[in-house]
Amino acid sequence: MIGGFFRAVMTPFALFLGLNSIPELVTGVLGTMFMGIGMFGLYFLHIRQAGKLGFAAFAIHSFASFLLMALVFESLTFRVYEPAMLDSPTPPLPIAIAGMTSMPLLILSMILFPLCIFRTNIFSRFPAVLLLATPVLNFIPAVSDFGPLLWGAAFILFGSEAWKQAGQITPYRGSEGAEQVC
């Protein structure tokens, strides 16, 4: 939920303060970091039902989120300490490779995770549809700035559902009757 909130807040900052503004970049770093961490909770809550497709979606999304977080942090660092680097026609090779890798992986995970949800019904379909619509929205120039808003909203909804579902899990009672939480 925290990652989704920060990712969604990027949209108003980008629209009103401009791309690569300090508040937009700070919320981008926090959003991608917490979303990468949050995928662990979403996956581990339903590890048995998610299967291989769920594992692939979780692993790819977490890795790509951390990669994107590093790229956004790099932009934030350049914005603060060396703004001319943001206007550079060619980024340094490691940044170029990370940039070319992170978005295709995120798009792949934004397709795989909803497919896992549709197949297993571990979460409701609405946030899955929002997540699936995010990469589509990113390719439509007139509305591409709203992609982070949808992505964030999907994770807020996933987080709130996971929170409710985790509260309904009953503890395991061992042979002695003592509660053991697995």
- Say yes or no to pLDDT of 82 above 70: yes
- Say yes or no to pLDDT of 178 above 70: no
H/E stretch holding 9 reads helix 2-17
- Say yes or no to pLDDT of 49 above 90: yes
- Say yes or no to pLDDT of 81 above 60: yes
DSSP string across 59-120: HHHHHHHHHHHHHHHHHHHHHHH-GGGGG-SS--HHHHHHHHHHHHHHHHHHHHHHHHHHHH
CB 59 within 8 A of CB 82: no
pLDDT bucket at 162, cuts 50 / 70 / 90: very high
Average pLDDT, the chain: 88
The letter for the amino acid at 148 is P
- Say yes or no to pLDDT of 132 above 70: yes
Distances (CA, A) of 147 to 11, 73, 144, 169: 8, 19, 6, 33
Taken in order 27, 106, 83, 12, the sign of the CA dihedral is negative
- CA–CA distance, 101 with 106 (Å, rounded to integer): 9
> For 117-128, what is each residue's pLDDT tens digit?
999 999 999 999
- CA–CA distance, 101 with 119 (Å, rounded to integer): 27
Coil vs helix vs strand at 22: helix
Coil vs helix vs strand at 121: coil
pLDDT bucket at 69, cuts 50 / 70 / 90: very high
